Structure 1
Amino acid sequence: MTYFDDLGNELTFEKTPKKIVSLVPSITETLYDLNLEENIVGITKFCVHPVHFRHTKTIVGGTKDAKIEKIKELQPDIVFCNKEENTPEIVKQLQEFTQVYVTVVNSVDDAVRMIQKMGLMLNRRVDAQLINHKINLKLDDFKWFIKDFEVKKSAYFIWYNPWMAAGNNTFINSLLTLNKFDNIYKNKKEIYPTIEAKRIRLEGDPDYVFFSSEPFPFKDKHVFEMGRFTHHASAVYVDGEMFSWFGSRLIKSFDYFKSLRERITISTFK
């Protein structure tokens, strides 16, 4: 069996891969939802869903500093990585002793395609079809829900010191667009550009400024600091997993986006 990952790398298997290592939290969750719990042998310290994996699976470091020798000891048949979350160096070292599937997911369509390919590779076609069916139903329902909302300008921050925002060609940006939020940083060259807080009005003067729960845990002091430089923007804390975890998490995300709309009229800057 021959497959190609999202970077065009060829993977060949004589039989269905059984031992799996995931270096991507959202893929770990998706593998679990594909009923592959027994096959998962290694995860990162950031793979927090499902919770019990912290006690039943081998932790192999982080997404950017995975312990290669520890992974090698697990003798995996396949390791799942992501172009954005894992470094090229990690992928190259892993490819020296095992098959590595690198994902590139910048949209809901990409996520659905990823789940379908995982189902084929791992002999979980029916499970993958079921997950994608649920995602597509939720997506269609949300599109109907959001169709009459006015497009509003937004900024979505992921890091502090320095300030960093989600830019174009990111899964976050695609979900902002789906939610009818026009990302003021979508035209930046970098996918996660570094931002000068004092220039936020000049950059686009957003209606909403989103502060993600991950990877940086924003607090009120950060919101107040940014608030000094905004004009009329509303500050909103958001669940970063709902905006950045591709895969089966999307089944929950669209309901979250509905509830988000119910509370973003209140400004925490004022």
Structure 2
Amino acid sequence: MQPRAVDAAGVAHETAGAGARIVSLVPSITETLFALGLDTQIVGRTGFCVHPHDKVREVPKVGGTKAVKLDAIRALRPTHLIVNIDENVRDTVEQLRAFVPHIVVTHPQTPQDNLRLYALLGAIFDRMQQAQRLGDALEARLREAATRSFAAQNVLYLIWRDPWMGVARDTYIAAMLRLVNWQTLPDVRGGVAGAARYPLLDFDNAPWLADVDRILLASEPYRFTRTHRDTLARDARLTGKRIELIDGEMVSWYGVRAIEGIGYLLRQASAP
């Protein structure tokens, strides 16, 4: 009997054959599929799937993570579609079920969840050895983080402006930041999915703002720049707070990027 792997929706998947044709609607998972050595089986990706640069450019685009081109996917005749609860629209995924035989749902919420993600993809696409190597590398990073000591910091992690948007504490981003003892504010939780996971912020009505030590301006999904940083530094409401740019891919991309991302955070938290 073939091994079965259970995805985030509770669906069990059998091991795919060498003829599997994969479309990924999740940028960080597209990168991970390449890291697992599935280059020849990746037949479609979103325009936001930009890593690894030299390989994704050979793969056809099928729209964005939310504005998906159904006909483009249909034409690629995929056997497997990789989606994510946070990043993809449920109604669109349901439409794709009509012609894609296997839809694999993912939803990592902590850095440790990447171990299950590697195992899931490795089991489905017969890349267990490669998945184990990624798992070993991630566990080494997690052990390194656990043995380090960092000063507690309350951080405001901004992902958007006009309107300002942050992250809830039950997001993957917040869990990554906790590895270096950075606790996100405001103290809210958004549930399994939905806008509340990325709350709107009003600096004029934010009593918690006084407790923020550090403001992190992410490079994605909004591309904050030094100009934005300098503008915020002049805001009287933020006087005395450390304001800095941070690589959003390193903090928010799960999959293989988490290995490098944890190392990046360890360096950021150690910087004077």
* Matched-pair contact (CA < 8 Å) for 2:251–2:261: yes
Per the TM alignment, residue 200 of structure 1 is displaced from its structure 2 partner at its CA by 4.4
CA contact (8 A) 1:17 1:122 kept: no
Answering whether residue 253 of structure 2 is matched by residue 245 of structure 1, we say yes
**What CA distance in whole angstroms lies between the structure 2 residues aligned with 1:95 and 1:33?**
26
Matches of 2:178 and 2:16 in 1, distance apart?
42
**With structure 1 as the length reference, what TM-score do the two structures score?**
0.91
**Structure 1 position 89, deviation (Å):** 1.3
Amino acid at match of 1:195: L
* Alpha-carbon distance between aligned partners in 2 of 1:32 and 1:222, rounded to the nearest angstrom: 34
Residue segments in structure 2 that go unaligned for 5+ positions in a row: 191-195
Aligned length: 262
Matched, 1:61 2:66: no
Percent of paired sites with the same residue: 31
SS of alignment partner, residue 211 of structure 2:
coil
Whole-Å Cα distance in 2 between the matches of residues 237 and 104 of structure 1?
26
Deviation at 1:168, TM superposition (A): 2.2
Contact 2:176 2:262 in 1 (8 A): no
**How much has 1:186 moved relative to structure 2?**
3.4
Q: Distance in 2 between matches of 1:93 and 1:16?
A: 26
Secondary structure in 1 matching 2:244: strand
Q: Distance in 1 between matches of 2:241 and 2:251?
A: 20
Residue aligning to 1:268: none
Give the C-alpha shift of residue 199 in structure 1: 3.6
Q: Does 1:169 align with 2:170?
A: yes
Listed as ranges, the matches of 1:1-270 within 5 Å are 2-11=4-13, 15=17, 18-98=20-100, 99-145=102-148, 147=149, 149-189=150-190, 190-200=196-206, 202-227=208-233, 228=235, 229-263=237-271, 265=272
- The answer for unaligned runs of 5 or more in structure 1 is 266-270
> Whole-Å Cα distance in 2 between the matches of residues 14 and 150 of structure 1?
46
- Deviation string for 1:91-144 (max 9, x for gaps)? 101111111111111101211101111100100000000000001011101221
Measured against aligned partners, the alpha-carbon deviations of 1:192-221 in whole angstroms (never above 9, x if no partner) come to 000012344544530000000001011234
**CA shift for structure 1 position 17:** 6.0
Worse-matched range after superposition: 199-208 or 161-170: 199-208
Structure 1 outlier segments of 4+, above 3 Å: 1-4, 9-17, 199-204, 224-227
- State the AA in 2 paired with 1:152: Q
CA contact (8 A) 2:229 2:245 kept: no
